[in-house]
Amino acid sequence: MSAPAHVPVLLDRVVALLAPALQHEGAVMVDCTLGLGGHTEAVLSRCELARVVGIDRDPAALDLARTRLAAYGDRFTGVHAVYDELPDVLDDLGLGAVEGVDAVLFDLGVSSMQLDVRERGFAYAEDAPLDMRMDHTVGRTAADVLNTYSAGELTRVLREYGEEKFARKIAAAVVRQREHEPFTTSARLVELLYAEIPAPARRTGGHPAKRTFQALRMEVNDELAVLRRAVPAAIDAVKVGGRVVVESYHSLEDRLVKQAFTAVTRSLAPPDLPVVPPELEPALRPVTRGAEQADEREVAENPRAASVRLRAVERVKSKGAAA
Q: For 280-283, which contacts have Cβ atoms below 8 Å and span 24 or more sequence positions?
A: 281/316, 281/317, 282/316, 282/317, 283/315, 283/316, 283/317, 283/319, 283/321, 283/323
Is 39 labeled as ligand-binding? Answer: yes
Q: Is 83 annotated in some ligand binding site? A: yes
Determine the residue type at 274: P
Q: Which amino acid is at 47?
A: C
Q: d(Cα 151, Cα 157) in Å, to the nearest integer?
A: 10
On whether 290 is known to bind a ligand per the annotation, the reply is: no
Closest listed residue to residue 52, CA positions, set 80, 70, 77, 72: 77
Q: How far does Cα 19 stand from its chain's mean position?
A: 20
Q: What is the DSSP letter of 171?
A: H
Q: Has 38 been labeled as part of a binding site?
A: yes
| Number of other CB atoms surrounding residue 25 within 10 Å | 6
Say if residue 56 carries a ligand binding annotation. Answer: yes
Q: Which parts are annotated binding residues for S-adenosyl-L-methionine?
A: 37-39, 56, 83, 107, 114
Q: Which parts are annotated binding residues?
A: 37-39, 56, 83, 107, 114
